[in-house]
Each structure stands twice: as structure tokens, then as C-alpha cells.
Structure 1
Amino acid sequence: MLDVAAQKPPRGNWSTPPFDPRFPNQNQTRNCYQNFLDFHRCVKTMRRRGKSEQPCEYYFRVYRSLCPISWVQRWNEQIKEGTFAGKI
């Protein structure tokens, strides 16, 4: 996973996530969850290939912008415990 410094938004470059046609409605809960999964899948794939995790930053920024912090903390705890329901 990205280090703590990478989790802070760079000054002036933090913006609203772009429109995603998969989630056209006002409720962005599924968009949040899907980008969280996509980020972790991307990191897993890049580590397996021995490549930089930099391309995964897009998913990270989107889910950090859309998801409540409490959800992300709970999901990360569940991943560590091995009880996360999503398929990563």
C-alpha cells in the first residue's frame, strides 16, 4: 500500500473525481466501494509483476474523495483480519 506521505493530497492538485458513466446516479456508494476494490486489485497486480504502484494512485484518490473515512478504516481492518467480503 502507499506510504503515509502519499496518502495526503498534494497542494493544489486535489480535485473532484471525474464523472464515471457506470455510476450516473447521485448516490456514489457503489462508486466508492468499486474504486476501493480497484485500488487494492491494482496494487496486488503491480506488486506481483514487480512494477511501480504509481498507476494505482488514480483509484486511491477517487475512493479517498468519495468514501467516508470510517468505511475505509473498517474495510482496511477487515482486509488485515481476513474477513473482508470483497474479492481482491
Structure 2
Amino acid sequence: MSEDLNKPFAGVLKTVGFDARFPNTNQTKNCWQNYVDYFKCVKAKGEDYAPCEQFKFAYTELCPPQWTEKWDEQRENNVFPGLYERPAKEHH
């Protein structure tokens, strides 16, 4: 237990900061957008790109685990609508 208290931020509660795009108390859209933004960021910049972690922190704080588990399953099956990319048009 004492080891945990020596870690940075041990025992400090932290939550997602205010986002002007989502001023209302219902944070469903905020949850969704941060989940989508995290995976777009990782795809564009790679898993080691630290700024992507802010999106992950936000969605893990805002989203019910049941939602992200379902979305993770949908991503694995390539049916998650938030990351859908249209196939490139073929030029003849």
C-alpha cells in the first residue's frame, strides 16, 4: 500500500476537463467522440504517440465499460461505424 502512495498522482482524483463542444450534462456524445478520436489518433500516429492518451483517458472516464466492450468487439469485426472508411473509388 505504501508503494502506491509514492507514485505520482497516487490518491489524487482526476477527471476529464470541460470540453466546450459538450456543454450539457449528458456526456454520451463526449464519450463517443473521445473513443473514436483515440483510435483515429492511434491509426494516424501510432500507439506510442503520447497525445493520443488524452482521448483514451477521457473515454475511459466518461463511457460505461459495457459500451466500450461492445465497440471494441465491433472494431475487431470491422463493423464499428465510427471508424468506417469508404473504399477508394477505382479509376477505369
| TM-score scaled by length of structure 1 | 0.78
Structure 1 residues without counterparts, runs of 5 or longer: 1-9
State the superposition RMSD in angstroms.
Answer: 1.8
Identical columns (%) = 42
Higher relative contact order, chain-length normalized (CA < 8 Å, sep 6+): 1
For 1:65, which of 61, 64, 70 is the aligned residue? 61
Give 1:87's aligned residue. Answer: 83
Greater Rg over alpha carbons, structure? 2
How many residues were matched structurally?
Answer: 76
| TM-score scaled by length of structure 2 | 0.75
For the structure 1 residues 60 and 18, does the alpha-carbon distance in structure 2 shift closer, same or farther, using more than 3 Å as the test? same
| Structure 1 outlier segments of 4+, above 2 Å | 10-14
For the structure 1 residues 11 and 31, does the alpha-carbon distance in structure 2 shift closer, same or farther, using more than 3 Å as the test? same
Structure with higher helix content = 1
Structure 2 residues without counterparts, runs of 5 or longer: 1-8, 85-92
